[in-house]
Amino acid sequence: MKRVVAFWICCLCASVTYAQDIHFSQFFAAPILVNPANTGNFIGSARIGLNYRDQWGSVTIPYRTFSAYADAGIQPKKAVNRFGIGLAALTDVAGDGSLTTNKLYLSSAYHIGYTEHDAVRFAVGISGGMVQKTIDISKLYFDTQWDGFEFDTSTISNETFSTTTINYPDINIGAMLTILPYEGRRIFVGASASHINKPNESFFGETNELGIKFTATAGGSFATAGVANFQPQVYVSTQKSALEVIAGSNISIPMDVEGNINNAIFIGAWYRYGDAAWLCGGFIADNFTASVSYDFNLSKLRTASSTMGGLEIAAAYVFGNTGKKDPLKCPAY
């Protein structure tokens, strides 16, 4: 019965869903996926990161998303510009039909003015790769199999899938403007466009172009005399008729008397308009950053979810940044 209730509630909420593409609540911890211009945007020689999300376990079979990325920054000594190269992979398994999405992207970016003497930096980036989607139709139930009391899987579904696996190329672009007005202050604005080649995505052999997803981010880092560091951000994305708006802030508190932001704990509160709110917490220990968050569902689906949403874990490690000053106060991730 729980499965049936969840099914009808999901159908009801479909018309007011605000997010369409795969995403993480901790978007700031998935930099390359959000904007390819973030490739190589860190102080050090190389960076690796992991993301994990588990949601809707209180409603149905959990939706699970795994992501890993690695990027490197190439900047010869005394060079004023920087080149970034990277690789990102993502796997998402959704719902009863085990709808599985696998993505593999190569990314690159070029950063202008990447020195401690420049108050303005601009970056452009591009990423491209392959996407594979598969579905197990033997695990699905259809309306023709509903007998008024339960789903009868022995009844013919009358659904005609032309394939259970689809593959297509995917291309994304982005840009980022960073301003460092003075010591302890950093402001940035970014924009990206995903699926600009409008790939076709259909298990029925029909024309179903994936809409271009436009994303804008804005935020900053504001230090308060070594006591704390505020990192407010706004994230807005739109894809066809879907809209996602996120706003919130993390606050980093140094763990040593020198006020070193590279050794700190941080907490944050975030809100996705019309959908969820979540708390985030983690720590920065030299080259390593880790965080965890939990979404509390506030949409109409909370009737079935009991307000429970999703757990997220993120971690990143940067190589080769020991003793180097961060001229642009780059994000923790």
pLDDT, tens digit, for every residue of 139-170?
Answer: 777 777 787 788 777 777 777 778 889 999 99
Give the residue, 98 or 247, on which the prediction is more confident.
Answer: 247
Closest-CA residue to 84 (of 127, 115, 120, 49): 127
Higher pLDDT, 71 or 4: 71
Q: Which class is 16-246 in CATH?
A: mainly beta
Furthest CA-CA distance within the chain: 73
Q: At 302, list the tokens.
A: 């909370």
pLDDT in tens, 267-313: 999 999 988 999 999 999 989 999 999 998 887 765 655 566 789 99
Q: Which residues contact 272 (CB under 8 A, 6 or more apart)?
A: 18, 19, 25, 244, 245, 246, 295
Q: Which residue has the higher pLDDT, 273 or 257?
A: 273
Nearest to 330 by CA among 41, 81, 112, 82: 41
pLDDT at 41 over 60: yes
* Residues 316, 289: Cα–Cα separation, whole Å: 5
Q: List the Cα angle 126/167/312 in 5-degree steps.
A: 65
pLDDT over 90 (residue 81):
yes
Confidence of residue 76 (pLDDT cuts 50, 70, 90): confident
Per-residue tokens: 296: 């509390």
Measured between alpha carbons, how far is 120 from 44 in angstroms, rounded to an integer? 19
The mean-pLDDT minimum among 91-95, 175-179, 292-296 falls in 91-95
pLDDT above 70: residue 7: no
Asked if residues 129 and 59 have their Cβ atoms less than 8 Å apart, the reply is no
Nearest to 212 by CA among 200, 235, 236, 196: 196
Q: State mean pLDDT over 215-232.
A: 88
Whether 320 and 44 have beta carbons less than 8 Å apart is answered as: yes
Q: What is the pLDDT of residue 124?
A: 98
The shares of helix, strand and coil residues in the chain, as percent rounded to the nearest 5, are 10, 50, 40
> Which runs of consecutive H residues, i.e. helices, occur in 66-189?
none
Q: What is the pLDDT of residue 212?
A: 96
Give the residue-averaged pLDDT of 220-244. 90
Tell whether the model's pLDDT for residue 328 goes beyond 50.
no
324: confidence class by pLDDT, cuts 50, 70, 90:
low
Q: Domain map of the chain by residue range?
A: 16-246
What are the Cα distances from residue 318, in Å, to 125, 198, 287?
A: 20, 34, 5
Instruction: Write the pLDDT tens digit of every residue in 107-123.
Output: 999 999 987 778 899 99
